[in-house]
Amino acid sequence: MPGLPMLAPETKENRVTTLVIGARGSVGRHVLDQLSGAGEPVRASVRNPASAALPAGVPVVAADLAAPETLPAALAGVRQVFLYATASGTAAFAEAARTAGVEHVVLLSSGSVLLPSARGNAVAEHHRDVERILETSGLRWTPIRPLVLANNALGWASSIRDAGVVRLPHPEAATAPIHERDIAAVAVAALRDPGREGVSDLLTGGALISQRRQVDVLAEATGQPIRVEELTPAQAQEHFERFGPPEIAKSIVEFIAAAARGESPKTDTAQRVLGREPLTFAQWAAEHAGEFA
């Protein structure tokens, strides 16, 4: 009939449920694998599809949150989105998602927004800003709030490979790092059951472990001795400024100092949501040992 749009019949191939934005990311990749492993229709987005290296059979689209014109095509037919908290582009994303009829967004945020020290902490403020955009967007959204990612240890990889050393402040500072696969599993629980309670609670691994002990665990996993060289807070500030702006470096140094005072919490969120013990740092180290050799 003239004037009526032709709608393709819904088939298994075009019934896209979830768009994983940042599907090459360490958490995003596990979200993609876990959803597709559960038989859920998924679409992956990356900024540069040429370098995607994603599993065969998963539809891949180009989408850049900093380039909103890329979003409508990526979001067409999508009901849910897994989203990274990027510095810019979340407002444009929210508008594009509303226009596309997206029903639910699961945001990888940060547990730092829930800590008493959140105010004035640059990492927490960044994530809180992104959360606020989604809060006021009219979209249904669920934040996932891990506190410390186990894969922060990858920041030690080059000095371990080059000199068998890790340089850090407060070696005895203990946190409860969480494996990226467990973060993804909590995000997938939220995606598969949008009303699921508890998924936005402060998310940590199952055990407090000092930085020095993490280094020892890496040495065991790689079979190589690894030394620790302690940095003063001023040296640590300079060290972290190599990887990001001074205010982010400052918030990391302050976070480690707080952990050294015993202020980094451990929660049972992962255990409650996943119904099993979270993966340990030793499991993470065994899986990633090749990246330190």
Ligand X SMILES: NC(=O)c1ccc[n+]([C@@H]2O[C@H](COP(=O)([O-])OP(=O)(O)OC[C@H]3O[C@@H](n4cnc5c(N)ncnc54)[C@H](OP(=O)(O)O)[C@@H]3O)[C@@H](O)[C@H]2O)c1
Chain residues binding ligand X by CB under 6 A are 21-22, 24-28, 46-47, 63-66, 84-86, 89, 108, 110, 146, 148-149, 151-152, 180
Contact 63, 74 (CB under 8 A): yes
* Smallest gap from residue 225 Cβ to ligand X (A): 26
Comparing CB distances to ligand X, the nearer of 89 and 206 is: 89
Comparing CB distances to ligand X, the nearer of 148 and 227 is: 148
Handedness of CA 204, 210, 215, 216 (dihedral sign): negative
* Smallest gap from residue 27 Cβ to ligand X (A): 4
Comparing CB distances to ligand X, the nearer of 25 and 206 is: 25
Comparing CB distances to ligand X, the nearer of 22 and 171 is: 22
Q: Where are the beta strands (DSSP E) in the chain?
A: 18-21, 42-46, 60-62, 80-84, 104-108, 141-146, 165-168, 174-175, 202-203, 209-210, 227-230
> Following CA atoms 149, 150, 154, 159 in sequence, which dihedral angle do they give, to the nearest 10 degrees?
120
* Smallest gap from residue 286 Cβ to ligand X (A): 18
Rg (CA), the chain: 20
* Smallest gap from residue 269 Cβ to ligand X (A): 13
Q: What is the DSSP letter of 149?
A: B
Q: At 145, list the tokens.
A: 């709030």
Name the residue with the smallest CB distance to ligand X: 25
* Smallest gap from residue 161 Cβ to ligand X (A): 19
Q: Which residues contact 260 (CB under 8 A, 6 or more apart)?
A: 170, 172, 173
* Smallest gap from residue 138 Cβ to ligand X (A): 22
* Smallest gap from residue 192 Cβ to ligand X (A): 19
**Site of tokens 């949501």:** 273
Comparing CB distances to ligand X, the nearer of 7 and 53 is: 53
Q: How many CA atoms lie within 13 A of 242 on its CB side?
A: 5
Comparing CB distances to ligand X, the nearer of 26 and 283 is: 26
Comparing CB distances to ligand X, the nearer of 139 and 148 is: 148
Among residues 198, 189, 213, 184, the alpha carbon closest in space to that of 267 is found at 198
